[in-house]
Chain A
């Protein structure tokens, strides 16, 4: 068909779906993207706690997972299916963009499934096929009011007017207040302030700060998300900030990884450091800046938010060739982000420092954590999928014997809190039945035999820490 005379073309690791034709063809459908790292595989008796892909666990049929989507991408790029085909959009936007597949794939191979999923959403939006209507609604709220909730932007910093909170006019540390902390869970913002005040760390806020743009990004609205990124980075640079602190794992990921990706620079070239309050607080505890003193006598398990864990490695842009006459080597070599250096231990260090806490791990933890269900715009567009996923995660926390679940992402906290209320009021049996119908044929997993919830409460890590120092 050819005679091998074509020359390789320079390409980038960006949002052009055509860059992932190779990945779509090299995918072997080995199922690591379904189940995660085999070293951490669970027993068949608790199979429902053994998936890494939340969408796939919900949908079961293979197009609901990465290998199915790789085949879809291949078919789109080779003209075997039209992008307007109805389920193309549904399948693309059901992806949580949690990165479980990406981490698992990169243990043994070098594909970019997460980039491929992000590029697929952008591809559909560019053609007027996406995003989902619910995402458009939120995008309009963000555009008009500068926050996810559509609340009055002048009230974004209302939490800071509480008595006892000291915010500096100017400081090296900027507290980037997430939409959740400013508009819904003001106790999170107040907790951050309390921790920093207690440690005598001067910090400032930006009155003009808007949404980080997470929902724009995960909806494939790349143009809008990039504008937000450029604007926010300029705002921060103009104030000569050295450290940006986030209370939300999604904001953290956006500022640290996705902003540089969209702008076309490396994380190290942002000009400021981005940290999550969990990392900052862990260092404060280590250095003696704060000390947890009140007891919290509970069996606690920590849910690793994707944005704080496996997705938080710094971004480095890449451009080069894949050399067909040298075994497909990338030239120059690419720095593959595998989730190895995500922020896993600092939140655990914080929890371990609290008197009375007994830390237990879920089956899926650290780089292998299961999604809370809250990410990727799935909650907004496919609430029944999100509910199912979150309930599975809660049942996992319950099954390992924890009576408290802690996380470091307000969006995850919200879905967990709702799930807790649901599971305590009959939702447990519903989720068990749903799993049973999906998988167990003539057999019931051990994990489905526990019908009563022992889990008592859900906490945000920052709020918990502020309450014990």
Chain B
């Protein structure tokens, strides 16, 4: 019997307490038959086993599933075309049935939360992938994932960014969300590379944006009239609750000559990698610096010189994580190394990784390497031996590996700021975590200041701060649950991190839909009011992917009473549109239907 086993009876009792409502909700026959007529009986199901498969995926796990707020959808439907989706949305509107679109399901908002009467629209059948390497653009459907996309582009000597969120993420939603990767250094944010968009509005209309609004050609992101694409945004927008994007054309970039021959998949699991077969065409360079300040200054100078294709500084524990794959038991191997690390080592360990590519010729690569050597030498940097391969940026982004060390992980800060702000925020977070929030709440990171990268040739810097938790202590269904650990975690996320963001002026976009400090309130021009107005205009019944955007006042009610500061801030943010707690006619046990 597993060490984590609890009896079925105990699980049921605790589950009921956590959820506060029924787990299953059955879609009325009348509505189900209408859906069947649109997509065919093979592509809709209300089978319970099928519905269970769509509970909680990816980043949802820690705060939604464990909190008992992940529910199986009332049915799962897999449409094949935009026309089918438009019809479905009209049916859902007619019957007041909430729905949630999902491609990979990797992000928090891509799964039913807080209620059981949601239809899950699985978009993975909507497959399209057409590349124009000469004009450097790609048209694709919602089912396409970054990992496949990367290989496809390579075969045409092109490339695109691969997000830190993982190769498993789908291109359309991640691009809309923000689209962040070290490759943004040269390519810019993915969301700025969106051109044509085919969108099903929450009213069920098919709307075309960009040059698709005028013609067949999805070449251009703008078109006459207001640019509507802003209302589709993720982290700083509607969080996946403004209709469904069914097709997109994106800009891609030209890459290396004969890319598939230069980047060759090699190795047997777990040691697989893209081998660099020609170091005159592509290489990573690791540079070690004598101090953090020197590294930070160097990042600026390298960026202004516009050399390289990526400049990134990763947390030290990622390096240890990668090395742990040589052990038969990764977790134990990781901890054998990590337990021996000291703060002093972290304070003195400054490695920057730079990707150099021969976009034009090997002479160009040589030139850039010379410039890199000159600049890094100025700051005391020493070039270190670097593996001639890529394990996790160009094609495979190991987001799921993040959970390996402790089986619980979340990023508490994700921001695009000036480089200086990103550095300062990461350092403050690293120090506070080390001083006050170490084990058993979070893994000791010894003050590591997080993951930084330079974007847009140094115009902005990206910071992501990752923390690692022990699910045994914050999963209420675990026999080892510790309320005090959960309380400290909440305090960190909802109060400490936003406080530091406020001090350094860092605009953290993670959880912007739920944390009152982020993009809400008078400091941000009451931006949430505009979010609500758009939602009110297009989806007044809040059927598209509730409860995004969150009603922070209702959310405050769900948090413990001792979280006074955060609750007070949430109430001040003044939002009141979503239905987390439910209002008459919108409860999870039975949503109102016309004529019923």
Contact = CB atoms under 8 A, between A and B. Distances in A.
A269 B240 CA distance: 55
Contacts of A40: 265, 272
Given A2-B478, A79-B11, A327 B335 contact: yes
B378 interface: no
A39 B267 contact: yes
A443 B127 contact: yes
Most buried by A among B11, B54, B56, B269: B269
B127 A47 contact: yes
A25 B476 contact: no
A247 interface: no
A43 B155 contact: yes
A60 B477 contact: no
A43 B403 contact: no
A42 B148 contact: yes
Interface in B1-24: 1-5, 8-9, 11-12, 14-15, 17, 23
Contact of A9 (B1, B149, B150): B1
Nearest to B155: A43
B282 to A, nearest CB: 16
B235 interface: no
A441 B269 contact: no
Interface stretch (B323-331, B558-566, B573-581): B323-331
A265 interface: no
Contact of B268 (A62, A321, A339): A339
Contacts of A91: 49
B106 interface: yes
Interface stretch (B75-83, B283-291, B303-311, B537-545): B75-83
A2 B471 contact: no
A29 B148 contact: no
A10 B1 CA distance: 7
B178 to A, nearest CB: 19
Contacts of A87: 47-50
B475 to A, nearest CB: 7
A29 B57 contact: yes
A383 interface: no
A348 to B, nearest CB: 13
B124 interface: yes
Interface string A345-368: 000000000000000000000111
Interface in B55-90: 55-58, 61, 76, 78, 80-81
Contacts of A438: 125
A313 to B, nearest CB: 11
- Give the contact-size bracket for chain A: 35 or more
B176 to A, nearest CB: 19
A21 B330 CA distance: 20
B126 interface: yes
Interface in A9-30: 9-11, 16, 18-22, 25-26, 28-30
A329 B330 CA distance: 10
A11 B3 contact: yes
Given A3-B483, A19-B2, A41-B147, A367 B52 contact: no
A30 B273 CA distance: 19
A61 B122 contact: yes
Contacts of A136: none
B449 interface: no
Contacts of B104: 31
A322 B4 CA distance: 8
B470 interface: yes
A404 interface: no
B168 A18 contact: no
A62 B50 contact: yes
The winner among A35, A75, A330 for most chain B CB atoms within 10 A is A75
Contact of A81 (B52, B151, B154, B271): B52
B53 A109 contact: no
Contact of A333 (B45, B122, B329, B477): B329
30 contacts: A1-B17, A9-B3, A16-B1, A18-B2, A26-B407, A29-B57, A29-B106, A30-B400, A32-B168, A38-B395, A41-B147, A43-B148, A60-B124, A61-B76, A61-B78, A71-B55, A72-B52, A72-B53, A75-B52, A77-B8, A77-B11, A79-B8, A79-B15, A91-B49, A108-B404, A333-B327, A333-B329, A333-B333, A339-B268, A342-B268
Given A62-B122, A78-B11, 17 more contacts: A20-B2, A22-B4, A29-B57, A30-B166, A39-B391, A41-B150, A43-B154, A43-B155, A61-B50, A67-B57, A85-B49, A110-B404, A324-B480, A333-B327, A338-B270, A340-B270, A441-B143
Which are the 4 A-B pairs with shortest beta-carbon distances? A68-B53, A29-B57, A6-B479, A108-B401
Interface of A: 1-4, 6, 8-11, 16, 18-22, 25-26, 28-32, 35, 37-45, 47, 50, 60-63, 65, 67-69, 71-72, 75, 77-81, 85, 87-88, 91, 103-104, 106-110, 321-322, 324-330, 333-336, 338-340, 342, 344, 366-368, 438-443, 445
